[in-house]
Amino acid sequence: MTHWKRKTLAAVFFAVVVLGFIKNGGIYVTAHNGVVFLAFALPTLVMALYCRIGLGMSFGLFCRYVPLPFGLLLSAFFISVGLRYEHPFVLGGLIAALAGGCLAALGINAKLEFTHVFARPSLWALLLVLFIALSLPLGIVLGSLESAQLHQFWEPLNLAIALCAFAAIFCVLDASTSIFERSQSASLNAVLLLTGFLVYEYFVGLERLEFAEWTAILTAQNVLTLVFAFTIYFIVVFASLCHHHFGQLNIRHWHLVETFLFFVFMVIAPESINEIDTEQITQGQLDQMTIDQ
C-alpha cells in the first residue's frame, strides 16, 4: 500500500470517528461551537501555510508542536469570554483544545523526514504571522457577541502579572542555555504558577460572602491572566520551532496539557453521576412529600 493510500485511509477512519461521536450525541454541532472551530481553524491554516510555503517546514512537524498550545490558548480565552458574558463558550471553547489535540496526535504519529531542513523566518514575517493568528480569534469573537468591546479583552494588570511571572522565572534559569530553551521553560512554568493562583483565588472567592455574587466575573478576569500566560507560551513555541529549537517541546506540551486539565477539572468540571443521582433522588423524595401533604 502506497504512502498516500495509507494517509487517505487514516483520514477516512478519523472522519468516521468524529462523525460517530456527532451521531451518538457526544459532540454537539451548534452555532457557538462553529464560532470556536472557525476561530481555531483560520489562524491555524494561516500559520500552516506560512510554515509550509514560506519556510518549507513539513506539515507533520507543524502539527506536532503548534496546534496544541494554540488550541489550549483559545479554550482558555473562550472560557474567560463565556464566564464574562454567561455564554455557552465556557464549554464550547473546549472544541479548540480538542481540535488542537487531534492535530497534535496526527503530527506525533506522522513520519518526519529531514525535519531540520527548512528556512528560518525573518523577524517581521514572524511578527506578522503571530499578529494575524492572535487577532483573528479576537475579531471573530467581537463579531459574534453584540455586547463585546475590544477594551474588555485588554487588561494591563493581567498582562503585567503574566509577563512578570515569565520574567521572574526566566531570570533565574541557567544563562548558559539558549534563549529559546530558557523562554520555553519560563513560559511553561509561568502557566503552571498562574494556574495554581487561579484555582486558589477561585475557591477563596466561593468562600468569601462579599465576593460570592462576583465569583464568575472575578474568575473571568483571572482566567484572562492565564490566557496571557498561554499566549506567551504559544509565541515562544512558534518562534522556537521556526528557529529549529524544538527538542524538549514534547515533554513541555505534556505538562501544559496536564495543567490545563487540572484547571478545567477544578473550575468547570461537570457534576459526577453520583451527584446527579443524589439530586434526582432528593427531588423525588421532595415530590413525594408534596403529594403526601
Query: For 114-139, what is each residue's pLDDT tens digit?
Result: 556 788 888 999 999 999 999 999 88
Query: How high is the pLDDT of residue 189?
Result: 94
Please give the Cα distance from 34 to 96 (Å, whole number): 10
Query: How high is the pLDDT of residue 233?
Result: 96
pLDDT bracket for residue 192 (50, 70, 90): very high
Q: Is residue 48 part of a domain?
A: yes
- Over the stretch 99-117, which tens digit does the pLDDT of each residue have? 899 889 888 877 666 556 7
Of 262, 222, 260, 198, residue with least CA distance to 73: 260
Please give the Cα distance from 38 to 32 (Å, whole number): 10
**181 pLDDT higher than 90:** yes
Q: Is residue 152 part of a domain?
A: yes
Task: Output 24 or 124, whichever has higher pLDDT.
Answer: 124
- Residue showing cell 513555541: 237
Query: How high is the pLDDT of residue 272?
Result: 65
Q: Is residue 273 part of a domain?
A: no
pTM: 0.84
Query: How high is the pLDDT of residue 18?
Result: 73
- Over the stretch 202-245, which tens digit does the pLDDT of each residue have? 777 666 555 555 555 556 677 888 899 999 999 999 999 998 88
Count of the separate structural domains present in the chain: 1
Query: How high is the pLDDT of residue 157?
Result: 84
Calculate the average pLDDT of the chain.
Answer: 81
The average pLDDT across 25-48 equals 81
Instruction: Say whether 178 sits in a helix, a strand or coil.
Output: coil
Query: How high is the pLDDT of residue 188?
Result: 95
Boundaries of domain holding 124: 3-268
Query: How high is the pLDDT of residue 190?
Result: 94
Asked whether 67 and 39 are in contact (CB, 8 A), the reply is: no
Q: Is residue 287 part of a domain?
A: no
Residue 268: φ, ψ to 5°: -125, 25
Q: How far is CA 89 from CA 35, 79, 138, in A?
A: 9, 6, 13
Query: How high is the pLDDT of residue 109?
Result: 76
Query: How high is the pLDDT of residue 170?
Result: 93
Query: How high is the pLDDT of residue 65?
Result: 93
Q: Is residue 8 part of a domain?
A: yes
Query: How high is the pLDDT of residue 223?
Result: 82
Query: How high is the pLDDT of residue 171?
Result: 92
Q: Is residue 289 part of a domain?
A: no
**55 pLDDT higher than 70:** yes
**156 pLDDT higher than 70:** yes
**258 pLDDT higher than 60:** yes
Please give the Cα distance from 77 to 228 (Å, whole number): 9
Please give the Cα distance from 199 to 192 (Å, whole number): 11
pLDDT bracket for residue 264 (50, 70, 90): confident
Query: How high is the pLDDT of residue 147?
Result: 72
Q: Is residue 238 part of a domain?
A: yes
Q: Is residue 137 part of a domain?
A: yes
**250 pLDDT higher than 70:** yes
